[in-house]
Chain A
Amino acid sequence: MSTAMSYQSIYSFVSQQSSTISQSSRQPLLLPTKCLKIDSSLCYYTSRRKRNLSKIETISSQISVSYNTTLLSPSKNIIPDNSQKKSSNMILRSSSISYKNHNWFCILTLLFYVLDEAALILIRHGESLWNAKNLFTGCVDVPLTEKGVEEAIEAGKISNIPIDVIFTSSLIRAQMTAVLAMIQHRRKKVPIILHNESDQAKSWSQVFSEETKDQSVPVIPAWQLNERMYGELQGLNKQETAERYGKQQVHEWRRSYDIPPPKGESLEMCAERAVAYFEENIEPKLAAGKNVMIAAHGNSLRSIIMSLDKLTCKEVISLELSTGIPLLYIFKDGKFMKRGSPVGPTKAGVYAYTKVRHRFYCSTIFVFFEFSVLDGSLCLQRLAQYRQKLDESSEVICS
């Protein structure tokens, strides 16, 4: 990708309990958070301070982690009770808590957190049977190959990023990618495909248990996220078509912005419907704080990325999306920030951020904290090592 940077982040999700508690309580709460020492060579703070923040320190060389909490003054953005957002502000107070008091931390699962950000994950489906045969697919509903199935399962290793709702296209290769990826998700929520093609379909697929609904992630299929319709080229062999129409012409259809193949869509037309759908249906969810995953196709995702990254027509034409590799964006204050591709849980990766606000999720054994690093930019080196150490120490403490 032309503008890709090697950003990666660790995310873990907040336990169910903490979100329910956050709903019920709007009081500032004292709560301990983990402190991470920032590698001094890389960290810096911006001068803008709208809120006080916890210092994040990562102890890169030690296994044990000391817990500190920081006092934050209430933010200006107190979220009203009737807000649709799940979050509310919290106040953190600094104190040292021994690492051994894991019971205390269990209680701390009942914390609530500031949630004014949402994660957006984009996944392009893997190899389909016609990709393997080198045929133009477009909107023909062709399923995945074994390799495509593996790619989908592999993509699911984003198991630490919370997902509240999934959007896919109406084609099975995208839907399969979404559900196969979710098999790997640590949260163990069950994706359920919503049916609204008829009244009967709606009423027949109703779930009658609140508890079960809480453990479900709705999957919304939408034709607007379908692959670009390739018109009369659908089903044709790529070489044959080049012979029939000429390489130049085919290249023009495939790579221009506004020239459609006969009876098909141009990238512009595809972008029109995909981005419109995104703005009307997906962005409001993100604005409400819901974490969204979109499993779709090369062209529909390119169109969306064009809108997120504000690319020009020329830039989007040369944008190539890898298959089966999830892309992470953070939505905050109406803006999208690209975060690259999350690594799998067993890989150590490089973590480098630029001067942006972001939210830092820190995972522990029993408890998932979430706290905002608002003031300042944070460059976290060896975050992956830190996380590994957490995993190691969690094995020690776990009873």
Chain B
Amino acid sequence: MATVVSQQAITSQRPSSNFKASHFLKEPLNVPIKLRQKQFKIQATASQAPLLDPVLSPSKTIPQSYKKKSNEASLILIRHGESLWNEKNLFTGCVDVPLTEKGVAEAIQAGKRISNIPVDLIFTSSLIRAQMTAMLAMTQHRCKKVPIILHDESEKAQTWSHVFSEETRKQSIPVIAAWQLNERMYGELQGLNKEETAERYGTQQVHEWRRSYHIPPPKGESLEMCAERAVAYFEDNIQPELAFGNNVLIAAHGNSLRSIIMYLDKLTSQEVTSLELSTGLPLLYIFKDRKFMRRGSPVGPTEAGVYAYTKRLAQYRQKLDETLT
């Protein structure tokens, strides 16, 4: 189903400041991209553009076709579960602390809830607790596709992680790790005990740092700063995928997800500071006609619930039921 199209000079002007060499991201897979230096053959399938591009093979495929896969796409947001420092009541921020057993169980539970919702692409932060949450959740998914983390930290990392089989690529879900989806950086509070900090700086001050919109802790980020980078990343990298019709899963952290939800639901800064996201409970949004519609949290597979999703999702689930049972 692939047709070879000669290279076209469709470019999109992406601000170069969003790209740092060390965090270079693969271009969104199915949208107009910056013109690349190398000569690529462009392949576009009629029904589904290939999902993995330079990672798979440098000589193939920068999808240039802007033809949409679908009018509708689902977006799932999962906040990771309990981490070892949550358990110890320490400020974590961007320190890369892993999950506890409970966090692992929460991830698997979340996976069961989304096991019937299509996922074409996964975005996580660069912290292992979010990546593990995504990986563990996907072990439960009924589609049985394999998530593969894309490595772009260097040329060598890219070359070394190439996949050389078309069939395997089709059965894979690319996972993109992005620091912009990291938890809010907590500056000098990182590693400190929450009670100690309250004693040291005063409960009032700490509450202000934690719950205000503009005020950063010393050497840290305010929620506003966190929102700036997270939403910018979302708009530049994730929304185009949704616009194309790719279903996306984002596994990230409390503050980065709050920021994104603020953007999706058009919340005010006051509303967002009082927004609390449950851990391990996936949130579903449907992107259609350039709008985001909240669909709450998918129920577990054995729970009978109101299926207030879309027809497309119901059909997907039916297809899974037919092919897998």
Contacts and interface: CB of A to CB of B under 8 A. Distances in A.
A195 B23 CA distance: 13
Interface residues of B, number: 54
B22 interface: yes
Interface string B80-121: 000011001010011111111100100000000000000000
Contact of A179 (B98, B147, B149): B98
B191 interface: yes
Q: Most chain-A Cβ atoms within 10 A of its Cβ — which of B88, B104, B191?
A: B191
B193 A141 contact: no
B148 A213 contact: no
A226 B179 contact: no
Interface stretch (A198-206, A251-259, A285-293, A381-389): A198-206
Interface string A192-212: 111101101100111111001
Interface in A306-333: none
B30 interface: no
B283 interface: no
A145 B139 contact: yes
A233 B164 contact: yes
Interface stretch (A27-35, A40-48, A114-122, A234-242): A234-242
Find the residue from A172, A175, A195 having the highest chain B CB count within 10 A: A172
A208 B99 CA distance: 20
B182 A135 contact: no
B38 to A, nearest CB: 17
A129 B132 contact: no
A367 interface: no
B131 interface: yes
B95 A192 contact: yes
Interface residues of A, number: 52
A208 B189 contact: yes
A205 B220 CA distance: 11
Contacts of B175: 141
B238 interface: no
A223 interface: yes
Nearest to B140: A146
Nearest to B56: A235
A193 B22 CA distance: 18
A362 interface: no
A143 interface: yes
B14 interface: no
A112 interface: no
B161 A139 contact: yes
A232 B191 contact: no
Given A198-B23, A205-B95, A193 B128 contact: yes
Contact of B192 (A144, A212, A232, A236): A212
Contacts of A146: 139
Given A141-B148, A183-B101, A192-B97, A172 B135 contact: yes
B187 to A, nearest CB: 8
B89 to A, nearest CB: 11
- Interface centre among A130, A133, A143, A201, by most B CB within 10 Å? A143
Contacts of A145: 139
Interface string B177-188: 001001001011
B72 to A, nearest CB: 28
Nearest to B22: A198
A2 B311 CA distance: 59
A311 B191 CA distance: 44
A390 interface: no
Contacts of B187: 208
Contacts of B146: 129-130, 133, 142-143
B30 to A, nearest CB: 21
Contacts of B189: 208
B232 interface: no
B254 to A, nearest CB: 16
Interface string B287-311: 0000000000000000000000000
B237 interface: no
Interface in A222-273: 223, 226, 229, 231-237
B191 A209 contact: yes
A143 B150 CA distance: 12
A320 B132 CA distance: 28
B20 interface: yes
Interface in A178-195: 179-180, 182-183, 190-195
A140 B190 contact: no
A178 B165 CA distance: 29
Given A179-B98, A190-B97, A236-B164, 11 more contacts: A135-B168, A143-B135, A183-B98, A192-B96, A198-B22, A205-B95, A206-B190, A208-B192, A209-B90, A223-B157, A236-B165
Interface of A: 129-130, 133, 135, 138-146, 149, 170-172, 175-176, 179-180, 182-183, 190-195, 197-198, 200-201, 204-209, 212-213, 219, 223, 226, 229, 231-237
Interface of B: 20, 22-23, 84-85, 88, 90, 93-101, 104, 126-128, 131-132, 135-136, 138-139, 146-151, 153, 156-157, 160-165, 168-169, 175, 179, 182, 185, 187-193
